[in-house]
A and B are shown apart, each in its own frame.
Chain A
Amino acid sequence: METYALLMAATLNAGTVLALAALGLLINEKAGIVNLGAEGLMLCAAIAGFATVVHTGNDLLGFAAGMGAGAVLAAVFGLLVIWLGTNQYATGLALSLFGVGFSAFAGIGYVQEKLPPRVPFEVPFLADIPWMGPALFRQHPLVYGAVALAGGLIWFLYRTRTGLVLRSVGESPESAHALGYNVRRIRFAAVVAGGALCGLAGAYISVIYTPLWVEGMVAGKGWIALALTTFATWRPARVLLGAYLFGGVTMLQFHLQSTGVDVPSQLLTALPYMATIVVLALISRNPAWIRVNMPTSLGKPFQPGS
């Protein structure tokens, strides 16, 4: 019983990484921009956050550094795709390749570093409930932060005027432009905000989730987060659910490895990636459903007056 509580807790923890990144990418995509650079961006944020915590011992500063790194890289990406009209796929890919190289380069001195031990966070009273406590209420505050973020995003996107404008920019930039909105500036803001969230996810990996620095440690989570927005047909609540589902797959793999089932460990490691492929295929099977839910101008450049 206790094992399952811990498994549940680990699932939420792993899902938080994916949720933060995927919700960030959702903001991008709602504004019509696909950022394939998520993986590279998260890696750079991971080393930025880790290095900051090594030097300052302060997790919050580490998160801030990760968000900053994510926002800066996303801003470069945004300038290229929004103002210079470069291909979003190619530019995102460039960001990913650059991020993999740059983070390895910058992180070379931090491979052996360890972070100071920290006090686990417990929600008062609730953490003492048997089973439920260890499963749900002994988590890093950001785990609850991700849930709050999803809630906040639902409110922002569907209940506020700014959210409506953001969505309209992703659906029909021409109309938004005709109504006098500055499409490029709005898209840029969305890209930077999304990048900051991906950066937070990256810093969470290196500061809390793992906590250490290894080259390429994001290990495809940026790409899985990109797939999650499609799985969730661009709805924040489903993004959150999907993130926990994939967090669960990751943890199941560790659990099976530790219980010593007679399956090659490589098969288990490959599980989250294969699950991504299978789910992607099942969800995409109905093109009409995807078309109805996908922001209409996703991936399409917009230049006013052209």
Chain B
Amino acid sequence: MLRLEARPEASKLWGYASPVLALILTVGVGVAIFMALGKDPVRGLQMFFWEPVKSAYALGELMVKATPLLVIALGLGICFRSNVWNIGAEGQFVMGAVAAGGVALLADKDTGRWVVLAIVLAGILGGMLWAGWVALLRDKFNANEILVSLMLVYVADMVLSYLVYGPWKDPAGYNFPQTKTFASVTQIPRLMSGSRVSVGLLIALAGVGLSWVFLFRTRAGFAQQVGGLAPAAARYAGFSSRKALWVALLVSGGAAGLAGALEVAGPMGQLTPYVPAGYGFAAIIVAYVGRLHPVGMVFSAVLMSMFYIGGELAQSRLGLPKSITGVFQGLLLFSLLACDTLVAYRLRWLSGRA
């Protein structure tokens, strides 16, 4: 029979191989789903893995979707490494978008270019505020951060809904629940013409560097992770667990808020009830598949972006529901967690009963 045997130390090889194996498993299930639905699996896989990379324009769109995922995941990486379970990044993303949108609405055609900076800052603060509630309730009231952060996602959605159906609704918008389109001066600067890729991508890549330096080259980043791995050791070393909690939540909330600002002042250009697109939840998967490592998350953010674009294409060209994206995302995380067993254990065939 098959038996798991603990390895003397974690396998480096499987640390890298496990996400790849998980992807292979997910693709395998994907092929099975396509065949079960009577679709050509080769065409199906094309939508996910070839169409998003086949032209410069497509690659640009891939980056547009990967940017918010990467920005949020970078924050969550620091958070999860500190053993703080913020799963409400979606809500912090929405509040970042709301705060950024509020500033963008104040701008008109005479406003200076500086307003972009104000929008981005407002987004970060909005996300921090929303995550700050989680930190406060955990710190002062010992309330479970998983449940509080998740409940706040629903509340954030309602705040957005109230604003776009109520005070912020565009009076000239034929009663559609949306704000007026932001003045063009609020647009996050694009990198080149003919593509929607903005400086957001550069911010995300700078975030990769910053997050790497913080985690692996600063004392504060080290303290943050010790608290996550061994709380007792952290206490002994005099690292404050309260500080780690606040840092983890404010950083991840700020990152999610930043992503919200980049989205709303970038591709969206106005607030609508469709701001929450599930990026905050998908970023949890990005963070895990990227091994909570800033560089790994670049790859997983691109992969997850492929899932999004592939899902949209599968809908328009193959007539499959777009929600297939969610199925693949969930499957990927599931397979990854299962494959990760191989990092700490090895499989052994034993004859007879053990």
Q: Which secondary structure dominates chain B's binding surface? A: helix
A108 contact set on B, CB distance < 8 A: 321, 323
- Contact at A277–B144, with CB atoms within 8 Å? no
Number of interface residues of A (CB under 8 A): 48
A215 contact set on B, CB distance < 8 A: 323
Q: Does B318 contact A (CB under 8 A)?
A: no
Q: Does B35 contact A (CB under 8 A)?
A: no
Least CB distance from A99 to B in Å reads: 7
Closest to B151 in A: A273
Closest to A268 in B: B158
Segment at the interface with A among B230-238, B260-268, B329-337: B329-337
- CB < 8 Å neighbour of B340 from A86, A95, A226, A280: A86
Residues 271 to 298 of chain A near chain B (Cβ within 8 Å): 273-274, 276-277, 280-282, 284-285, 287, 290
Least CB distance from A123 to B in Å reads: 35
- Contact at A266–B159, with CB atoms within 8 Å? yes
- Contact at B158–A86, with CB atoms within 8 Å? no
- CB < 8 Å neighbour of A91 from B142, B166, B337, B345: B337
Q: Does A100 contact B (CB under 8 A)?
A: yes
A266 contact set on B, CB distance < 8 A: 158-159, 161-162, 165
A110 to B344, CA, bound (A): 43
Q: Does B288 contact A (CB under 8 A)?
A: yes
Chain A 61-95 interface 0/1 with B at a Cβ cutoff of 8 Å (1 = within): 00000000000000010001001111101110111
- Contact at B166–A264, with CB atoms within 8 Å? yes
- Contact at A227–B337, with CB atoms within 8 Å? no
- Contact at B337–A270, with CB atoms within 8 Å? no
- Contact at B142–A226, with CB atoms within 8 Å? no
- Contact at A270–B154, with CB atoms within 8 Å? yes
Q: Does A306 contact B (CB under 8 A)?
A: yes
- Contact at B142–A287, with CB atoms within 8 Å? yes
A9 to B6, CA, bound (A): 55
- Contact at A105–B141, with CB atoms within 8 Å? no
A223 to B148, CA, bound (A): 10
Q: Does B69 contact A (CB under 8 A)?
A: no
B334 contact set on A, CB distance < 8 A: 76, 80, 91, 94-95, 98
Chain B 336-354 interface 0/1 with A at a Cβ cutoff of 8 Å (1 = within): 0110110011000000000
Q: Does A129 contact B (CB under 8 A)?
A: no
A91 to B285, CA, bound (A): 11
Least CB distance from B132 to A in Å reads: 14
Chain B 284-314 interface 0/1 with A at a Cβ cutoff of 8 Å (1 = within): 1100100000000000000000000000000
- Contact at A86–B152, with CB atoms within 8 Å? no
Chain A 210-231 interface 0/1 with B at a Cβ cutoff of 8 Å (1 = within): 0000010001100100110010
Q: Does B137 contact A (CB under 8 A)?
A: yes
Q: A100-B326, A276-B147 are in contact. List 13 more A-B contacts (CB 8 A).
A: A87-B337, A90-B333, A93-B87, A94-B330, A97-B284, A98-B331, A98-B334, A220-B151, A266-B159, A273-B151, A276-B151, A280-B137, A281-B137
24 A-B residue pairings within 8 Å (CB atoms): A76-B334, A80-B334, A85-B344, A86-B338, A87-B337, A90-B288, A93-B284, A93-B333, A94-B334, A100-B326, A102-B326, A105-B326, A215-B323, A220-B151, A220-B154, A230-B144, A266-B158, A266-B165, A270-B155, A270-B158, A273-B151, A277-B143, A277-B147, A282-B141
Q: Return the 8 tightest CB-CB contacts between A and B, nearest first.
A: A101-B326, A98-B330, A104-B323, A281-B141, A266-B162, A94-B333, A270-B158, A266-B158
